[in-house]
């Protein structure tokens, strides 16, 4: 996991170490039906998930290794052209995620995926860290 991703996930977890964080993430997310693993050949590079937060609302989860730039274009294309459209066609009217304020690479990519920054949330993390809220909302619910 990239250092910035680990920092972000640690801020929203009870974990105190990277080992505890890994165990917590496996416990919480491993069985999700909306989880994907992106590979570069046979090497895992990124893990993402779409979690149904509420009816017709998905929350995104994502982390990657430092090899992310090698698959960024193809992964972005897969998400925007093959992953999101069926969800929208099935009635999803909001796709959202949060990201820690200083994870600028993540913010840039989230915006490329089509989500817009809609809020700043001071004190969102366990240590008082500020996070941004991003979302895509269907035109008919704006």
- DSSP secondary structure letter of residue 13: S
- pTM given for the model: 0.92
Q: What is the extent of the structural domain holding 96?
A: 3-141
Residue 30's pLDDT is 81
pLDDT digits (tens, 9 = 90+) for 48-96: 999 999 999 999 999 999 999 999 999 999 999 999 999 999 999 999 9
Nearest one of 63, 76, 77, 142 to 109, comparing CA atoms: 76
Tell me the Ramachandran region of residue 128: left when phi exceeds 0, alpha when psi lies from -120 to 50, beta otherwise: left
pLDDT digits (tens, 9 = 90+) for 8-48: 999 999 999 999 999 999 888 888 888 899 999 999 999 99
CATH number of the domain within which 29 lies: 3.40.630.30
Report the share of the chain in percent with pLDDT over 70. 100
- Residue 54 CB burial class (10 angstroms; 0-12, 13-18, ≥19): exposed
What's the number of domains the chain is made of?
Answer: 1
């Amino acid at each position: 996991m990239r250092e910035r991703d680990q920092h972000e996930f640690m801020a929203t977890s009870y974990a105190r170490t990277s080992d505890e964080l890994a165990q917590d993430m496996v416990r919480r997310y491993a069985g999700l039906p909306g989880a994907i693993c992106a590979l570069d050949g046979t090497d895992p590079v990124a893990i993402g998930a779409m979690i149904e937060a509420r009816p017709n609302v998905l929350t995104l989860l994502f982390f990657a290794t430092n090899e992310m730039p090698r698959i960024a274009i193809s992964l972005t294309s897969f998400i925007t052209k093959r992953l999101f459209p069926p969800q929208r066609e099935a009635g999803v009217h909001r796709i959202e995620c949060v990201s820690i304020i200083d994870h600028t690479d993540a913010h840039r990519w989230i915006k490329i995926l089509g989500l817009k920054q809609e809020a700043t949330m001071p004190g969102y993390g366990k240590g008082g860290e500020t996070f941004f809220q991003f979302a895509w909302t269907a035109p008919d619910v704006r």
